[in-house]
Structure 1
Amino acid sequence: MKILIIRLTSMGDIIHSMCVLQFIKEALPNISIHWLVDEIFSDILKNNPDIDTIHSISLRKKKGLISRIKEIKIKTKELSNENFDLIIDMQGLLKTAIISYMINGKKAGFDKDSIRESIASLFYDKKITVPYKENIYKRNLKLINDSLCISKKELPLENINKYLFFSEKAKKRASELLSTKGKKIVFIPAASTGERVISISMYRKMIKLLPGKKFLTWGNKAEKETSQNIAENLEDTILLPKIDLDTLKALISACDLVIGPDTGPSNIPFAVKTPSITIYWDKAKNSNKRNTVNNQNNNSFSFSDLNDFDENIIVKKANILLSN
């Protein structure tokens, strides 16, 4: 059997979706899994042994509707030649539903009551019902199970194996960047929206109270400036150079703890089995709580506003995780 999974964006949602791969291969070891992703996120999928082929489409980088339509036509024509037995739209948007419709093969996706853009369900041959507010990991597994007629119904979050992988080159680079004795804590100051931002002063308060070496990541000029301001004159705090996504996966896998807001890279620790703390503001968490994971190693804390933030709560939990 040969299937195509469609999940184009974004980093966090792609990582959430990838956890199902190991369960597909466990139930159907001979299945061939292809994945269609926007090219700017393709590195997150690379080196995963459960994915047979990664197909990239350039939509985020294209400017204008006409150029994007042309890109979709070219890619869907190419994919139609693959003769997929089933195409599963894990994104559930009108855009991805149309893309799935343009590729030869039967289509599966969420039903109209299980997605925000309900019209997307019209393009699927098989429609799966999953409450929209259900935990995202359980939603994804339910969609896959029912689409592929796999009998396993429960998602044992505690038994999920590592499912993000990286190259040997990235592993070596991460080792060089973290080449220091003692505990290593990686901070991810970046946030995709303003309501998820943690202030510079909050980071500095946490860093001053935490043991070991602290490493600050960044991805663009604004994030670099933020990380520089956080690290300024703080002992045992290192501003990392800009690194690619492959190296970021390896870096997070090799450190002892990750702390950051609800942003794409903050989903990597769960997938590489690294302890983490994710900080939410109530407004952000209420709108995104179905994406959260709380277990022994991956924890989320919510505060009502900047005045409510208590660095001691984070530091206390961090010390517990670092001592395990």
Structure 2
Amino acid sequence: MRSILLVKTSSLGDVIHNLPVVSDLRRIWPNIAIDWVVEEAFAEIPRLHPGVRTVLPMALRRWRKQLGQRATWAEMREFVRQLRTPYYDLILDTQGLIKSGIITRLARGLRCGYNAEVARERHAAWFYDCKYLIPPNAHAVERNRWLSAAACAYEQPAALRYGIHAPQATPGAVLQPAYCVLLSATSRDDKLWPEENWARLGQHLTAQGLRCVLPAGNPRERERATRIAASIPGATVAPPSSLNELATLLAGAVGVVGVDTGLTHLAAALDRPVVALYVATDPGLTGVFAGVQAVNLGGKGQIPSPELVLASLQSLLTKVHA
């Protein structure tokens, strides 16, 4: 096996869940060339893995909104040209959607993906030369790894490794050694943890000498983070940041507490102690998955208490420093 193309375009959490595939492939074939097709918004994530040779960003979300512009069609032609230039020994679609299946079909090489029975969109299987029946009730990370092992005919390594490293902080950046990151923002309101719970947790952490940092993206998220930070002594709201900058922030944290959002998975992939909070979804299939330094709390219709979250984080920190 000399070269492989991975197709996992979005979302942030899904892209992070695919990183162990790169680590597995590199352990089996240390010199293999691995390229990756991903949405431009998440392109920084595969670049954090030293085992990825080339990242091929696509902009399907943006292109859909700008189909009437010549520049859009020029970009799409150039993307297809880059996609079809190499010939790959194997093309692996771990996403299992029709859009990812089409991308897989456009590339040149042996095309592999999920069987129609277990693909997220069953018609995606039309685009593959080889299809594999992977248990649908396994965690997303394991499904990705099992699919890669089946398609490439190797025994999956026992150890789980995301294999990424955060960029070093830029000169002048102030990253105090004792801080916790609180990831309070997520894409759906029903996934939010109550603001008063964040305040109580943050006050407990501050009393233990830990500064709280709250990243936030869009204006609505920043308003919420600002309200929460105002109720926690010494807490700060991080400025708008790129994924690389957020990775650096997360990597330097003593611990991370986050709701069901991609950044919580990124913190786990960076080997930080993570407590993930679920109130509207079941973490069984898509919760944080990183061994003993990460724990999922709650579930659909369940709201973890600040005291339980604090106790879980303290337990993780004790294990790290043991």
TM (normalized to structure 1)? 0.89
How many Å separate the matches in 2 of 1:320 and 1:16? 25
**1:5 partner SS:** strand
Q: Is the 8 A contact 2:184 2:258 kept in 1?
A: yes
Q: CA 1:18–1:69 in structure 2 vs 1: closer, same or farther (change >3 Å)? A: farther
Please tell me whether residue 276 in structure 1 is matched to residue 274 in structure 2.
yes
Of 241, 245, 248 in structure 2, the residue corresponding to residue 247 of structure 1 is: 245
Q: What is residue 25 of structure 1 aligned with on the other side?
A: 26
Gaps of 5+ in 2: none
Shift in Å, 1:204:
0.4
Q: What is residue 108 of structure 1 aligned with on the other side?
A: 112
Please tell me whether residue 91 in structure 1 is matched to residue 86 in structure 2.
no
Deviations 1:180-205 (A, max 9, x none): 5xx31100111122221112111101
How many Å separate the matches in 2 of 1:184 and 1:195? 27
Gaps of 5+ in 1: none
Q: Is the 8 A contact 1:86 1:105 kept in 2?
A: yes
Shift in Å, 1:64:
3.7
Q: What is residue 177 of structure 1 aligned with on the other side?
A: 174
How many Å separate the matches in 1 of 2:113 and 2:123? 12
Q: How many residues of Structure 1 are paired with residues of Structure 2 in the alignment?
A: 311
Matches for 1:1-324 after TM superposition, within 5 Å: 1-64=2-65, 66=67, 72-150=76-154, 152-153=155-156, 156=158, 159-168=159-168, 171-172=169-170, 176-179=173-176, 183-210=178-205, 211=208, 212-281=210-279, 283-285=280-282, 289-292=284-287, 293=289, 295-302=291-298, 305=301, 308-323=303-318, 324=321
Q: Is the 8 A contact 2:277 2:304 kept in 1?
A: no
Q: CA 1:294–1:81 in structure 2 vs 1: closer, same or farther (change >3 Å)? A: closer
Deviations 1:59-84 (A, max 9, x none): 12224484678755542233111112
Shift in Å, 1:303:
5.2
Q: Is the 8 A contact 1:278 1:301 kept in 2?
A: yes
Shift in Å, 1:233:
4.3
Q: Is the 8 A contact 1:5 1:33 kept in 2?
A: yes
**1:296 partner SS:** helix
Amino acid at match of 1:113: E
**1:252 partner SS:** helix
How many Å separate the matches in 2 of 1:146 and 1:304? 32
Q: CA 1:194–1:223 in structure 2 vs 1: closer, same or farther (change >3 Å)? A: same
Comparing 10-19 with 57-66, greater Cα deviation is found at 57-66
Q: Is the 8 A contact 2:281 2:299 kept in 1?
A: no
Q: CA 1:206–1:96 in structure 2 vs 1: closer, same or farther (change >3 Å)? A: same
How many Å separate the matches in 2 of 1:203 and 1:2? 46
Q: Is the 8 A contact 1:46 1:166 kept in 2?
A: no
**2:48 partner SS:** coil
Amino acid at match of 1:276: V
Amino acid at match of 2:127: F
**2:266 partner SS:** helix
Shift in Å, 1:160:
2.7
